[in-house]
Structure 1
Amino acid sequence: MNPTQWTAIGLACLATASAQAAPFTNGSFELHDPSIESDSSEPLVLAGETLLPGWDVLAGSINYVRFNRWQAADGDFSIDLNGEHSDVYGIAQTFDTLAGQKYLVSFALSGNPDDAPSVKSFVVSAAGTAATFTFDTTGHTRQSMQWLPQSFTFTATGASTTLRFDSQTTGPYGPALDNVRVTAVPEPSLMSLLIAGSAVAWRMRRRNQITSSL
């Protein structure tokens, strides 16, 4: 098999992995219904309202925070999971998945620095897998949010999966969330084939170079 054929196999493997990526939307919360526009730098989005495409507010309310309140991790907007109407707060998005496929969820985590508690926390869950993440706002300000990159993995069990972020913090000063991304994790066999194909292609090119120089 020549180098071109090995390269084609490698690209096919990458294409297969990409095709399995979840069609996740609005991970940085940049898309919103125009009706949310107001003079407030952190308008409320109530449970049941469909103002953020792709996302559902599960209970109570959340704050949709603009860049003039604090700097987002990506783009101009981010989320304070704790609004003002309940002690239970959360958001979720349901998206297409492939059963048995492993997915990586990456996101940026911070916290509302305006008041206690200083340590904010939420639970991320999908397909029966859950993990708790915390952020300590001590010493942080609106001008210094110090967003932290975090990640979470799950294996899909069906054709669709619901990804949830449930605040574990009470009161109106909760964990902040931004830049959520969901990507399919390539199967080890595909990655091994790609690596092997690249190695073979490199050796064949090297051999051809040596032969040409003789």
Structure 2
Amino acid sequence: MAEGKRKRVPEVLWRLFGNRARTLGDTILALIPPPAAGGGDEAMSFLVRSSDHLDYRNFLSGCFVVVSDDAPPPPVFDHHCRWSQLEIVRRTIEMILSEPRQASSNLICCSYDKESQSSPTVDELTSSKWIVLLSRVGDALMIYLLKYTSMFLPLPQKKHHQICGRSIANLFTKFPRGMPKSRAQHHPPGHEVKRQRVERLLRGT
């Protein structure tokens, strides 16, 4: 990864995943065969159009994604949309919930209410920028992204929030010894310490 791009990746993601951590836009283009996405400016125009809102553009460049080690090959690209984004998110969560091992570790399932088929995560993943993205990538690739990647959504002041995939707090013990430490002097024990440190690193503090 070029030095300029490397600096854009949050430090904690770079330490854990190296150049596997990429922006959402770069990840999608890497998953789609060149004939479908084209190359250079043509590839970017596949995802971004002149009429797109700035919020969507910032989403593609500010959201970071890591494809899981055990992810299957991406689906054959098909830009058609057979379901709404809401239907896709619900179907994906319920698919993961049917696989106990996945459900216990994937953050996309957190606080999901099976009866109402809702959660704060469902609300976030069905906002307008996700609907635009669905119209560009289609059902199959959207499901693949939600099920087989870890996503870190941009927040104000260059902060990020992990919304799906295995929590990186569980990988904290694998960090190199030189990993920056939390600035707090007193911490609660165990997993909470890991979570707080990772959150601080994602916030860039």
Larger % of helix: which?
Answer: 2
TM-score of the aligned structures, taking structure 1 as reference length: 0.26
Compare CA radii of gyration and give the structure with the larger one: 1
Larger % of strand: which?
Answer: 1
